[in-house]
């Protein structure tokens, strides 16, 4: 089989790249969700400085191309004496860019939380942090998790750009294999399947989380 | 003791509480009556610190609710039951009741759950501990709301029109529980339109009119011809409530 004959010698290298993509995406997803939740809480704060700082972060990182952000971190920061490895730079840049979008959907979820529920939590003596983590965030995520899923899937697809800063994740590895074999059709066909598998899995996970978070909406 | 002194609350240009003075002694059941918009709920929200005062002072057991430390202490001493239940929708009845005892009172989970189950049994919801609010009727939700408040073992129970969103049968269930609490000596500040119930369980009734506390009398005196009923506005209010 011609297809397999082309891919077989390079499958290990491609899978290494795939593993790097998975690790980078998992770390970036965790980073983006944590940063997004923190920023959303800041954007719903009563303090205008806190709110302004969070809004500025969101505005900047939503409105600048990811490639520019990535180059800024990778090529720009060393000029300030800040040296971070390519992989770490990629994960941090994806987390920061993703967090800006995630904060938007979590904030819209927060705005759906009934103020009466928050009042009940306040009068029971819960701290602000407990109110946010135990009451507001779980309720907000109920409506936010689906649109957040789209953002996270986009983040996975965006990971292919890390190949531009020397990270040999899946796309980076594929570029090398394609250049070696002169068989881009076969190589990129493998990429199509692997990226589609990854995003499909993520999509299933998001659906499962959505069902779990909304189990309390089932009437008796 | 809950003490409100010259309490004022302003929303924009509207002064909704005008120099209100109120004292609630331990063991008393004080009912706040008044037409819609008279400031009853706002007064409750000022006592539990959900609204900042525009003037005056409120203390709960000597703790000034307008200071941060005072508010924390006041909220430890009191608990509120809301008109629209305000249960945490993502938590079961048990979760709703145990959250604050575990997080605020630092009770061990097992103890908090045992206390919650005992309360649920008391209000006839023992079999519904694992139900989410969405799976309960209005009356059941309000009973969970009462359990949630009682689980904090408050010295004062603030009840803000707790039966307004319920049908007559569910109202009866909830009022029966409140009557039992009153018989047990629970101190309550009770905003309601249930006049007959208020007459039955209250030790005192205060009447708010457009943000002003115009009458504060022992219950028997409030309903006496030469007491509260001698005030034309109260007579008019009570006769309208009877017609409704």
Which domains are seen in chain A, by residue range?
A: 24-166 (1.10.3720.10)
Q: What is the pLDDT of residues B126-135, one digit of tens each?
A: 999 999 999 9
**Percent of chain B, pLDDT > 90?**
71
On the 0-12 / 13-18 / 19+ scale of CB atoms within 10 A, B119 is buried
Structure tokens at A111: 């705005």
pLDDT reading at B243 higher than 70: no
The better pLDDT of the pair A200, B194 is held by A200
Option in A127, A135, A218 nearest B88 (CB):
A135
Q: What span, in angstroms and rounded, lies between the C-alpha atoms of B152 and B150?
A: 5
Question: Residue B99 and residue A134: Cβ atoms within 8 Å?
Answer: yes
Q: Do A120 and B134 touch (CB under 8 A)?
A: no
**CB-based contact, B153 to chain A, within 8 Å:** no
Q: Is the pLDDT of residue A18 over 50?
A: yes
**Which residue, among B103, B104, B129, B148, would best test binding to A if mutated, counting the most A CBs under 10 Å from its CB?**
B103
What is the ipTM for the molecules in this complex?
0.91
**Count of other CB atoms within 10 angstroms of residue B16:** 21
Confidence of residue A218 (pLDDT cuts 50, 70, 90): low
Mutate to test the interface with B, among A110, A112, A116, A125 (most CBs of B within 10 A): A125
For B50, the closest of A122, A127, A215 (CB atoms) is A122
Q: Closest approach of chain A CAs to the CA of B117, in angstroms?
A: 19
Q: What is the mean pLDDT of residues A47-66?
A: 95
Chain B residues touching residue A130 (CB < 8 angstroms): 103
In tens, the pLDDT along A134-189 reads 999 999 999 999 999 999 999 999 999 999 999 999 999 999 999 999 999 999 99
Beta carbons of A119 and B90 less than 8 Å apart = no
Pick the closest to residue B153 from B76, B70, B98, B81 (CA basis).
B76
Give the helix/strand (H/E) hosting A52.
Answer: helix A48-62
pLDDT digit string, tens, across residues B147-182:
999 999 999 999 998 888 777 777 887 888 888 888
Instruction: Please tell me the predicted confidence (pLDDT) of residue B164.
Output: 80
Mean pLDDT of A123-129: 93
Q: Do A216 and B91 touch (CB under 8 A)?
A: yes
Determine the average pLDDT of the residues in A199-204.
Answer: 96
Q: What is the pLDDT of residue B211?
A: 93
Q: Tokens representing B139? A: 């009356």
Of B87, B104, B134, the CB nearest to A219: B134
The number of residues making up chain A comes to: 220
Q: Taking the model in full, what pTM does it have?
A: 0.84
Question: A216–B48: do the CB atoms touch at under 8 Å?
Answer: no
Dihedral angle of Cα A66, A70, A72, A77, to the nearest 10 degrees: 150
- SS3 for B14? strand
Distance CA B119, CA B192 (A): 23
CA distance A200 to A205: 9
Q: Write out chain A residues lying below 8 Å of B50, CB-based.
A: 119, 122-123
pLDDT at A6: 87
Which residue in the block uniquely carries the two structure tokens 């119930």?
A: B197
pLDDT at B244: 62
Please give the Cα distance from B158 to B44 (Å, whole number).
Answer: 7
SS3 content of chain B, % helix, strand, coil (to 5): 45, 25, 30
Lowest average pLDDT, out of B75-84, B93-102, B233-242, goes to B233-242
Tokens representing A66 are 């990811």
A47: exposed, middle or buried (Cβ count in 10 Å: 0-12, 13-18, 19+): exposed
User: Does residue B67 register a pLDDT over 60?
Assistant: yes
pLDDT digits (tens, 9 = 90+) for A80-96: 999 999 999 999 999 99
Determine whether the interchain pair B79/A124 forms a contact, defined as Cβ–Cβ distance below 8 Å. yes
The pLDDT value recorded for residue B217 is 93
User: Which chain A residues contact residue B152 at CB under 8 A?
Assistant: 124-125
**Strand order through the sheet with B187-191:** B78-81, B156-160, B187-191, B29-34, B204-209, B212-218
Q: Find the residue in B nearest to A137 (Cα).
A: B90
Q: Write the DSSP symbol of residue A134.
A: I
Nearest-CA distance A107 → chain B (Å):
18
Model pLDDT, residue A220: 42
Contact residues on chain B for A220, CB-CB shorter than 8 A: 131, 134-136
């Amino acid at each position: 089989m011609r297809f397999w004959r082309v891919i077989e010698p390079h499958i290990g290298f491609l899978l290494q790249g795939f593993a790097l993509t998975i690790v980078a995406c998992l770390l970036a997803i965790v980073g983006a969700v944590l940063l997004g939740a923190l920023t959303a809480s800041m954007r719903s704060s009563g303090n205008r400085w806190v709110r302004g700082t969070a809004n500025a972060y969101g505005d900047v990182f939503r409105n600048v191309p990811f490639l520019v952000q990535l180059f800024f971190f990778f090529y720009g920061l060393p000029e300030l004496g800040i040296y971070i490895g390519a992989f770490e730079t990629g994960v941090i840049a994806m987390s920061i860019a993703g967090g800006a979008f995630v904060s938007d959907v979590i904030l819209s979820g927060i705005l759906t939380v009934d103020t009466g529920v928050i009042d009940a939590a306040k009068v029971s003596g819960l701290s602000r942090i407990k109110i946010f983590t135990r009451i507001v965030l779980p309720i907000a995520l109920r409506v936010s998790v689906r649109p957040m899923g789209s953002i996270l899937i986009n983040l996975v697809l965006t990971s292919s750009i890390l190949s531009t800063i020397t990270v040999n994740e899946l796309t980076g590895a594929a570029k090398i294999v394609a250049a070696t074999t002169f068989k881009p059709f076969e190589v990129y066909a493998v990429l199509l399947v692997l990226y589609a598998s990854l995003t499909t899995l993520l999509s299933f996970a998001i659906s499962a989380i959505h069902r779990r978070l909304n189990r309390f909406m089932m009437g008796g | 003791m809950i003490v409100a002194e010259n309490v004022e609350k302003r929303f924009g240009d509207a002064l909704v509480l005008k120099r209100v003075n109120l004292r609630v002694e331990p063991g008393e059941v004080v009912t706040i009556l008044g037409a819609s918009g008279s400031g009853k709920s706002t007064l409750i929200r000022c006592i539990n610190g959900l609204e900042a005062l525009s003037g005056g002072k409120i203390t709960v057991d000597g703790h000034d609710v307008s200071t941060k430390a005072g508010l924390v202490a006041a909220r430890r001493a009191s608990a509120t039951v809301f008109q629209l239940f305000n249960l945490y929708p993502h938590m079961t009845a048990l979760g709703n009741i145990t959250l604050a005892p575990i997080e605020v009172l630092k009770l061990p989970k097992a103890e908090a759950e045992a206390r919650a189950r005992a309360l649920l049994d008391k209000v006839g919801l023992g079999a519904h501990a694992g139900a989410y609010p969405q799976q309960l009727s209005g009356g059941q939700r309000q009973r969970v709301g009462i359990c949630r408040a009682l689980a904090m073992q408050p010295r004062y129970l603030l009840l803000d029109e707790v039966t307004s969103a319920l049908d007559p049968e569910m109202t009866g269930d909830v009022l029966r529980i409140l009557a039992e609490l009153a018989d047990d000596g629970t101190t309550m500040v009770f905003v309601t339109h249930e006049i007959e119930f208020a007459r039955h369980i209250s030790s005192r009734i205060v009447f708010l009119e457009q943000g002003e506390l115009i009458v504060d009398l022992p219950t028997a005196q409030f309903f006496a011809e030469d007491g509260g009923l001698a005030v034309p506005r109260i007579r008019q209010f009570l006769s309208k409530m009877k017609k409704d």
